[in-house]
Structure 1
């Protein structure tokens, strides 16, 4: 009986032990997003990224550049190009709170999302943002149709005041409601070449983004961009 009581006592003691797993803490970093070109809402004051694209850009993104989401059966732009919906219906989706693409609402909502893995074993899984924090700088980049990687330019920046790392269900995102955001005029934006301020770690002389929609960078580069 003494032995049984001793085992019970050990079990009770073990049940009182709470194992604390310390969450991994990442150093704060700034973030840049690579965005498909979108001329929705294009004007002398902005490149676009505030509405559905023109017919020419929709064709470019789907037929020439074969952008993954643009070419998806679920994308309203692809449905429009195949005449499954009208231009008016496409505009209604975009203007009435429906989802067309990340880019079409980027300078409306000032929100950038990490995206979904498109290839490999993790295809379909949401991506996370684990280094971005409040007061990180977010840089939005793109390149014009029929241009090359070295011509990627910055069209908007903002100071993050809300961030979500993401989980197994939803991708991470960064956004802002603060006054600390800048939307560049097209002429200004085309002078702000991203590779003038950032370089690849392994091959700094090669201006190629490669895979992934986002990448992190340090405060020194952020300061140079702001200057």
Structure 2
């Protein structure tokens, strides 16, 4: 069985701190959905909201007129029926224990900006594979701010492997465990509530054990990485990386011989990611069983870089499931200049250091 991604028509019912999808939309969003035809149901003559719209918003209207309006009320969802035949759409390749990723396009946004607004842990799939019933305590409704963070197309491509983010037809897509695990890792970074973070981490451990420790790297229709964006902000601050730091980092990555390494024996990985939310400036990964080398680049304030290099060496040991004293993982500092106390600290913790200024 596979996981699933659901195409939700945007609903702002009960939207405040949390994203909507609970009760019918407010009038402005009803107008938007009906006139834009963004829903398979909103613009149909039988829809309660369409009738309400045609009456000039007078008279009765259902409190829960569509699947989206009951989503976070009942923690259930179904993809609706085919208009021509009335036959229900069926999700045949998913089932109990899998994850339904909930996605939508906010008003006046393009398909490439499709966002992830939560997920359902599937407790059951009923009505002949037509209706998802979610396990509420293992499902998630994001806050409105959080729901605008993760782009769905970072994690998924269509079956033709197209780089174009294009949903076209259908109310759902199937997702591999690797894709969903990557989304869950990124959601841990997005959500602000500690209990929710803990719930997601436990879900990774129980349902995706192969990916619980290390965040998988998946390639979607659009390029980029939410996690890396967060890590870079933490590493360099609001001002970002300085041009001088970037220049030196890229120069060392292209010229490893300057720190005693051969370009034939190593792959240079700039801004290598750790699950902890840390990025090392460069990881030189060996091709033939030689020593892994984590490299931290500094300019003229070297002490923080030394402490980071110690941390990155330990993280690399953990990443490779090696003892913390593993001899084939070493740390290196490259800086414009080191003072005597900085050199002594490097020597004390067996960190190689080089003074290079471009």
Q: Give the TM interval when normalised to the shorter protein.
A: 0.7 to 0.9
Deviation at 1:84, TM superposition (A): 7.2
1:32 aligns with: 5
Bigger RCO of structures 1 and 2 (CA < 8 A, at least 6 apart): 1
Higher Cα Rg: structure 1 or 2?
Answer: 2
Which structure dedicates a bigger proportion of its chain to strand? 2
1:43-192 equivalences under 5 Å are 43-44=16-17, 46-65=18-37, 67-83=39-55, 86=58, 89-90=60-61, 93-94=62-63, 99-118=64-83, 123-164=85-126, 166=128, 172-192=130-150
d(CA) in 1 for partners of 2:48, 2:77:
19
Uncovered stretches (5+) of structure 2, i.e. residues with no partner: 186-358
CA deviation digits over 1:33-69, x for unaligned, max 9?
Answer: 101110000111x221001111111111111235331
Q: For the aligned residues, what is the CA RMSD?
A: 1.8
Do the aligned residues in 1 keep the contact of 2:9 with 2:38 (CA within 8 Å)?
A: no
Shift of 1:164: 2.2
- Relative to structure 1, the CA distance from residue 66 to residue 220 in structure 2 (aligned partners, 3 Å threshold; closer, same or farther) is closer
Runs of 4+ in 1 over 6 A off after TM superposition: none
Distance in 2 (CA, whole Å) between partners of 1:124 and 1:161 is 26
* Change over 3 Å in CA distance of 1:102–1:56 after alignment to 2: same
CA–CA distance in structure 2, aligned partners of residues 50 and 114 of structure 1: 16
What residue in structure 1 maps to residue 248 of structure 2? none
Taking a change above 3 Å as real, the CA distance of residues 66 and 154 of structure 1, as seen in their structure-2 partners, is closer
TM-score normalised by structure 2 residue count: 0.49
Separation in 1, partners of 2:44, 2:136: 34
Matched position secondary structure for 1:161 = strand
Q: Secondary structure at the match of 2:145?
A: helix
- Higher mean C-alpha displacement, 201-210 vs 100-109: 201-210
TM-score where L is the length of structure 1: 0.76
Bigger mean CA deviation after superposition, 155-164 or 197-206 = 197-206
- What SS does the corresponding residue of 1:174 show, helix, strand or coil? strand
Structure 2 CA distance for partners of 1:29 and 1:66, relative to 1, 3 Å: closer
Query: Structure 1: which 5+ runs fail to align?
Result: 1-27
SS of the equivalent of 2:83 reads coil
Q: Any conservation in 2 of the 1:111–1:176 contact (CA below 8 Å)?
A: yes
